[in-house]
Structure 1
Amino acid sequence: MRHQLQSRYRSLPQFSKLRATGSRQIHQPSRARHVIRYHRAPADDPAAPEKRVIDPSPLGPRVARIMEAAGIDGLWSHQEEGIHHLQQGHNVVVATPTSSGKTLIYNTAVLDDLMQNPAGCAIYIFPLKALEQDQLGELRDLLGNLSCGLTAEIYDGDTKPHLREKIRKHPPNILITTPDMLHAGLLGFHEAWEEVLKNLRWIVVDELHTYNGIFGSHVLHLFRRLNRLCGCYDAAPRIVTCSATIGNPLQLAERLFGRPFIAVTDSGAPAAAKHFLFVDPVDSPNTVASRLLQAGVLRQLRTIVFTRARTITELVFRWATQHRNDLRRKISSYRAGYLPEERRQIESQLISGELLGVVTTSALELGIDIGGLDICVLVGYPGSIVNTWQRAGRVGRRGRESLVILLASRDALDQYFMKHPEQFFGRDVEDAVADPSNHYILEQHLPCAARELPLTLDEPEYAEITGYQKALHTLTERGELLQSADGDVWFASRKQPHRLVNMRAIGDNWSIVSSRGRKETTQETDPEPITDNSIAVAESVSPDLFPADPDKAHATPVVSDGNIDPPVPTGGRRYTIGTVSGGQLYSECYEGAVYLHRGKQYLIGERNPVKRQIDAHLVDVPYYTRPKKEKETEILEELASKPMHGYQAKLGRLRVESQVIAFEKVRVGDGAVISLHPLD
């Protein structure tokens, strides 16, 4: 596959002409009219001897044994550096590019220590459940090869009740979880986890760069609460955290944990060349993405498409597979809101290679090792340099050259990079920001902290957080904290305040439920399907990238969709399609909306607020729905200002109110608005 892909790149006349000249515009045939700019990110080959450490013996015999069990004969320089610092007892943050072997650093250091101290425990924290599954599989293979008696288990929202009880009674050496379950299931019931906390020797936090903004501020207070409990149980775990390349890894790690860290940022791993196409399409970037996905899969090129919205993910998948049941066995959508069994199935088929294409939101942006992907299509600029490189890092692993295509939307920033691609490649990656003094978030976590351990005025974990004492006073006035008679200790007034804190979204999860019945259709004409002739449009983006392959381009459709679709009960039983929460409840699941799930359409009906259920039934209509919103912004307070290049930048507090007031029915074929429907 690697040589096949490289030969296709080299056959591109524009690639061979521009390889030495950097970003340049490619002149397309008049029928295409797409504005395309090409850039080649050269390979990084660490040929220098100091970049490769062949002999791991200075790190100890157990490290050599672990590497042998993992099938690895040498370490890159940053891996050796990270393991060495951890063995010396330091907290370490590793910030190197995607696919540079960061996982090996913490697995090796943790297993090296636990093999010597088998009663010890480690907590691995991942931001997404998909990453947990990926890590568990890798760990179990490694532990099986080591035959060392150490165990690993996942404890999260998908863990069955009987398994949760078993894990609590007989904790594994390595407990894999998410911030959400650490908050609600472990810290909230820390008495049940006494054995783990007393013997906790390691805290591993992967994908550190995701703990940014509001979510990062929540996780900051979560980690401070974990620190408090570790102190209560006389545990002093070492902390190792890994991040994609961000501007301030050391500062972020130290801010989140309130502990000193050593940063490892100089990668010794090789990186294959990446070819970038910046495309400003005449057609909708969504439809162009669906054609590129279809064309890539028909030519056996493993392709991932990233979109910026769940609805667009479903539309691109639907258009790419429309009238092509054979492709439904090779392509899937993937996003938040799918049921756990659906996610596990898709992840397994991606890793095995059974799926050749996937359309996703940021849900697959992080480090699950899909492996062997050739093409990454970005439908719109992801919003930051960090996220763009993170998504681009999904392709080109294991020394493979790869192609990244950025399809611009009409957004001003997208258009700016189309005109100035050198600005994208010349920019530094952004800093990640977590604000410990956000009083809204602080006031949510302090009752949880008080329930875990009573609070005092001189809490070490809150000593440097502005507004801590004010928050204690505010929460006491509101009755959420109870002050002792002496006035120097605070207790939680609720038994379980943890249930009131949602770190990722506003509001509760709602289930979308349906029943098996007759599919409703309309008499309106179906849009023009994507046929094999549509590949010409994709070829116009890069004519030689997808050379004609009649055997694959005219594959005979099959009747069955294969095993990609989720099982649906027969008869009249109701079943859960998926879940929504927060703002998605109002922007995607208003009455009359067409909800898209795995290429199928469901018409949204009434809500049941008691059961938190949304009724839906299967339909087949030639339109999708789009909400119309009213947004009001009010400036509450100006805190600071600074002159910039020709304008004044101001920092302040805002109140932003958004309301869905109506929805449009949009025809699938040409994007025309069919009708507008007000909402109460």
Structure 2
Amino acid sequence: MVDFEQFIKNIKSQDYYDDQIVYIQHIPANDAEFGTLDDPLKSRLQRWLDQNKVGLWAHQARAINSIRKGKNTAISTSTASGKSMCYNLSVLDSILNNPKTTALYLFPTKALSRDQHLMLSTLMKETNIKRSRLGIYDGDIEREEKRQVLANANIIITNPYGLHYYLPWFKKKWRRICENLKYIVLDEIHIYRGVFGSNFGFLIRRLKRILDLYGVKPIWILSSATIYNAKQFAEKLVGEQFTLVDEDSSPSGAKKVILWDLPFDETSNKYRSAHQETKSLFISHLKQDIQTLTFTLSRKMAELQAIWTREALPGIKHQIRSYRAGISKKTRRLIEQNFKRRNLLGISSTNALELGIDIGSLQATICSGFPGTLSSLWQQIGRSGRGEELSLATFIPMANPLDLFYVHNPDVLFGPIREDILITLKNKYIIKNHLCCAAKESALSPKEYINFGVQKKELFESCIDELVEEGLLMKRGELYYWKGDYYPNSNYGLNDLSDRMYQVILQTPTNEYLLTTEDESYVFRDLHPGAVYLYETETYTVQDLDLQERKVYIKKENVDYYTQSLKHTDVTILNVEFESTTGPHKNI
């Protein structure tokens, strides 16, 4: 258990300390509140709960009761509040009552899919439910295993990218799944914002469109961290009415949240580096044997924090790792397991560990930079203290106005979350992309505009007309069909990241090895010839970039510097829609 007074005393004794701690928020411990189900679960599930001394918390019981009544249910409670138990027990109980029942689970990342698969597999094994009733279906699964999943599984786990790609196959290959589909589970829905969320909203409507062909109307189960207007967001995302469960009754230990200001250097007229502040605090945590997860804003900084900390603490360097997209599945799983078992003391990570991946109960988190939304920040803060002991969380701002505003205004940071998660169903370019995919999946009718969530029929029809003019759709009778010479589900992505992957090839004196893969946007930004590439706390230099073969050639080199690409932005005003003066003197 962390001795907070001793921890603060130690921090304030360090050479780097210069009154950076400006505020400490005490979040008290919460006792559990238990609830009861309206109807008992199947005996083997109830027996598992009894044998493991698992009592359902009140919000879990409310959610399960709502789901079993056939209501679309959105669960918005804190990190580690047992949201997955709500949908897993509901789905398994239904399968035990009707062995033909199927469910589709959508998780935003493959890593989270596999973590939840492991958790559900364990539950099914301990309740004597056949392992073949559960399967993952995504790009990492071999063809024969995919065939077995479609033939036998009741619960299919995939991700939005997989669903987007596989949807045209639902009319044939997925027939058994679709005909018996009773539940669709969407986890971590607060991730679906902006362009990605808008695309996902249309993807869900395309899925519903296919299910309509089977006459199937499943129960939707959505889960999320605590977000503002959760019910309204769920209904906009899916296009269905929802019952909201948002009163968290799970137990939690006390937490101390520290706001860490950046010292201002009068000589250089700059704030001290947030990255160096993070490194210093991270090292102090580990020296005090406090297991810590440090969140950074980029892959490069996740690697650098691990490298710097390992250099400062050579005696425990094997207990410090980096975690980010791009590392292998095997390495990722090994890091998660070792952190959970406390074989690792410190991890520096991107937001890849922000989601509900099970890494056990850790003592502290450091949030290096504001992650973009308050809900994401609270997700990161909530990763520590998943048990009932005291935990720590520290927010270190970047030297920008928004980060510093939250540090200097704790009443806003610790007040109610008032930020909406924004998506749009009005963007013409996004609509056109999904109409191409929808036409590939099933013939398209102009009368479907309401089903797509498009309020203006004129907008929907103009999108169809433009696609016909562009030679991508053709009309037969009253319906429109895909005419393009490419696979639209592959051509149109769900976010602004490239779907084109590059192989990173390690060159040695005697051979060449595939080290990993990176997406095209990352390669163009950070892997130019001469750049330093950081991977699993090792340094490499880029020797060559082959654009035609999509390969990056690197060589292992121990260098004491890193590279960062320069960015230059030009803004050109095409036309003025509106202008106004502002400022205290109305002169801006």
User: Shared topology, TM-score over 0.5?
Assistant: yes
| Equivalent of 2:463 in 471, 474, 492 | 471
Query: Is 1:159 matched with 2:154?
Result: no
- Residue type matched to 2:487 in 1? Q
- Residue type matched to 1:599 in 2? T
Question: Residue 59 of structure 1 contacts residue 84 of structure 1 at CA under 8 Å; is this kept in 2?
Answer: no
Q: For residues 516-665 of structure 1, what are the structure 2 equivalents within 5 Å?
A: 516-517=507-508, 571-582=510-521, 584-636=522-574
Secondary structure of the residue aligned to 2:398 is coil
Aligned twin of 1:224: 205
Question: Residue 29 of structure 2 contacts residue 388 of structure 2 at CA under 8 Å; is this kept in 1?
Answer: no
Question: Residue 245 of structure 1 contacts residue 429 of structure 1 at CA under 8 Å; is this kept in 2?
Answer: no
Aligned twin of 2:296: 307
Q: What's the offset of the Cα at 1:317?
A: 0.8
Secondary structure of the residue aligned to 1:278 is strand
Question: Residue 69 of structure 1 contacts residue 142 of structure 1 at CA under 8 Å; is this kept in 2?
Answer: no
Task: Determine the C-alpha separation between the residues in 1 that align with 2:182 and 2:438.
Answer: 22
Q: What's the offset of the Cα at 1:630?
A: 1.1
Query: Is 1:289 matched with 2:273?
Result: no
CA distances 1:601-645 after superposition (whole Å, capped 9, x unpaired) = 121233222322112111112211111111122345666789999
Secondary structure of the residue aligned to 2:62 is helix
Question: Residue 69 of structure 1 contacts residue 145 of structure 1 at CA under 8 Å; is this kept in 2?
Answer: no
Kindly tell me: are residues 639 and 145 of structure 1, through their superposed partners in 2, closer, same or farther at Cα, counting changes over 3 Å? farther
Task: Determine the C-alpha separation between the residues in 2 that align with 1:462 and 1:418.
Answer: 42
Question: Residue 261 of structure 2 contacts residue 407 of structure 2 at CA under 8 Å; is this kept in 1?
Answer: yes
Of residues 461-470 and 243-252 in structure 1, the stretch that sits farther from structure 2 once superposed is 461-470
Question: Residue 339 of structure 1 contacts residue 578 of structure 1 at CA under 8 Å; is this kept in 2?
Answer: no
Task: Determine the C-alpha separation between the residues in 2 that align with 1:171 and 1:186.
Answer: 19
Aligned twin of 2:269: none
Task: Determine the C-alpha separation between the residues in 2 that align with 1:593 and 1:286.
Answer: 20
| Equivalent of 1:250 in 231, 239, 243 | 231
Whichever structure has more strand as a proportion of its residues is 1
Task: Determine the C-alpha separation between the residues in 2 that align with 1:407 and 1:215.
Answer: 27
Secondary structure of the residue aligned to 2:174 is helix
Q: What's the offset of the Cα at 1:219?
A: 0.5
Aligned twin of 1:212: 193
Task: Determine the C-alpha separation between the residues in 2 that align with 1:188 and 1:647.
Answer: 62
Q: What's the offset of the Cα at 1:302?
A: 1.2
Aligned length: 574
Task: Determine the C-alpha separation between the residues in 2 that align with 1:290 and 1:70.
Answer: 45
Task: Determine the C-alpha separation between the residues in 1 that align with 2:346 and 2:101.
Answer: 42
Query: Is 1:352 matched with 2:347?
Result: no
Q: What's the offset of the Cα at 1:338?
A: 1.8
Question: Residue 36 of structure 1 contacts residue 278 of structure 1 at CA under 8 Å; is this kept in 2?
Answer: yes
Q: Determine what percentage of the aligned residue pairs are the same residue.
A: 29
- Residue type matched to 2:130 in 1? G
Kindly tell me: are residues 336 and 515 of structure 1, through their superposed partners in 2, closer, same or farther at Cα, counting changes over 3 Å? closer
Query: Is 1:330 matched with 2:319?
Result: yes
- Residue type matched to 1:461 in 2? N
Task: Determine the C-alpha separation between the residues in 2 that align with 1:60 and 1:197.
Answer: 25
Of residues 418-427 and 408-417 in structure 1, the stretch that sits farther from structure 2 once superposed is 418-427
Q: For residues 141-540 of structure 1, what are the structure 2 equivalents within 5 Å?
A: 141-149=122-130, 151-168=133-150, 170-188=151-169, 190-282=171-263, 283-322=272-311, 324=313, 326-459=315-448, 460-462=450-452, 464-466=454-456, 467-484=459-476, 486-494=477-485, 496-517=487-508
Of residues 215-224 and 37-46 in structure 1, the stretch that sits farther from structure 2 once superposed is 37-46
Of residues 340-349 and 366-375 in structure 1, the stretch that sits farther from structure 2 once superposed is 340-349
Question: Residue 42 of structure 2 contacts residue 93 of structure 2 at CA under 8 Å; is this kept in 1?
Answer: no
- Residue type matched to 1:166 in 2? Q
Q: What's the offset of the Cα at 1:333?
A: 0.6
TM-score w.r.t. the length of structure 2 is 0.91
Question: Residue 283 of structure 2 contacts residue 312 of structure 2 at CA under 8 Å; is this kept in 1?
Answer: no
Aligned twin of 2:268: none
Question: Residue 56 of structure 1 contacts residue 63 of structure 1 at CA under 8 Å; is this kept in 2?
Answer: no
Question: Residue 44 of structure 2 contacts residue 127 of structure 2 at CA under 8 Å; is this kept in 1?
Answer: no
- Residue type matched to 2:22 in 1? R
Q: What's the offset of the Cα at 1:496?
A: 2.1
Kindly tell me: are residues 143 and 27 of structure 1, through their superposed partners in 2, closer, same or farther at Cα, counting changes over 3 Å? closer
Task: Determine the C-alpha separation between the residues in 2 that align with 1:495 and 1:30.
Answer: 61
Q: What's the offset of the Cα at 1:127?
A: 0.4
- Residue type matched to 1:209 in 2? H
Task: Determine the C-alpha separation between the residues in 1 that align with 2:285 and 2:406.
Answer: 25
Task: Determine the C-alpha separation between the residues in 2 that align with 1:640 and 1:259.
Answer: 36
Task: Determine the C-alpha separation between the residues in 1 that align with 2:204 and 2:573.
Answer: 32
Task: Determine the C-alpha separation between the residues in 2 that align with 1:186 and 1:66.
Answer: 38
CA distances 1:515-536 after superposition (whole Å, capped 9, x unpaired) = 3526xxxxxxxxxxxxxxxxxx
Q: What's the offset of the Cα at 1:340?
A: 2.4
Query: Is 1:35 matched with 2:20?
Result: yes
Secondary structure of the residue aligned to 2:356 is coil
Q: What's the offset of the Cα at 1:253?
A: 1.2
Q: For residues 29-178 of structure 1, what are the structure 2 equivalents within 5 Å?
A: 32-46=17-31, 51-53=33-35, 55-56=36-37, 58-62=39-43, 65=46, 68=49, 71-149=52-130, 151-168=133-150, 170-178=151-159
Kindly tell me: are residues 66 and 480 of structure 1, through their superposed partners in 2, closer, same or farther at Cα, counting changes over 3 Å? farther
Q: What's the offset of the Cα at 1:225?
A: 0.7
Q: What's the offset of the Cα at 1:425?
A: 1.4
Question: Residue 303 of structure 1 contacts residue 357 of structure 1 at CA under 8 Å; is this kept in 2?
Answer: yes
Question: Residue 511 of structure 1 contacts residue 576 of structure 1 at CA under 8 Å; is this kept in 2?
Answer: no
Task: Determine the C-alpha separation between the residues in 1 that align with 2:346 and 2:575.
Answer: 48
Q: What's the offset of the Cα at 1:267?
A: 1.2
Q: What's the offset of the Cα at 1:281?
A: 3.6
| Equivalent of 1:9 in 4, 22, 28 | 4
CA distances 1:575-595 after superposition (whole Å, capped 9, x unpaired) = 23331332x222211222111
Task: Determine the C-alpha separation between the residues in 1 that align with 2:218 and 2:576.
Answer: 42
Kindly tell me: are residues 12 and 325 of structure 1, through their superposed partners in 2, closer, same or farther at Cα, counting changes over 3 Å? closer
Structure 2 residue runs without a partner (length 5+)? 264-271
Secondary structure of the residue aligned to 1:624 is coil
Task: Determine the C-alpha separation between the residues in 2 that align with 1:438 and 1:198.
Answer: 32
Aligned twin of 1:18: none
Kindly tell me: are residues 475 and 637 of structure 1, through their superposed partners in 2, closer, same or farther at Cα, counting changes over 3 Å? farther
CA distances 1:121-180 after superposition (whole Å, capped 9, x unpaired) = 111100011211111111111111111336211112222344233323x24111111100
Secondary structure of the residue aligned to 1:627 is coil
Task: Determine the C-alpha separation between the residues in 1 that align with 2:502 and 2:416.
Answer: 42
Kindly tell me: are residues 111 and 33 of structure 1, through their superposed partners in 2, closer, same or farther at Cα, counting changes over 3 Å? same
Q: What's the offset of the Cα at 1:239?
A: 0.6
Kindly tell me: are residues 207 and 404 of structure 1, through their superposed partners in 2, closer, same or farther at Cα, counting changes over 3 Å? same
Task: Determine the C-alpha separation between the residues in 1 that align with 2:453 and 2:78.
Answer: 34
Aligned twin of 1:537: none
Question: Residue 290 of structure 1 contacts residue 319 of structure 1 at CA under 8 Å; is this kept in 2?
Answer: yes
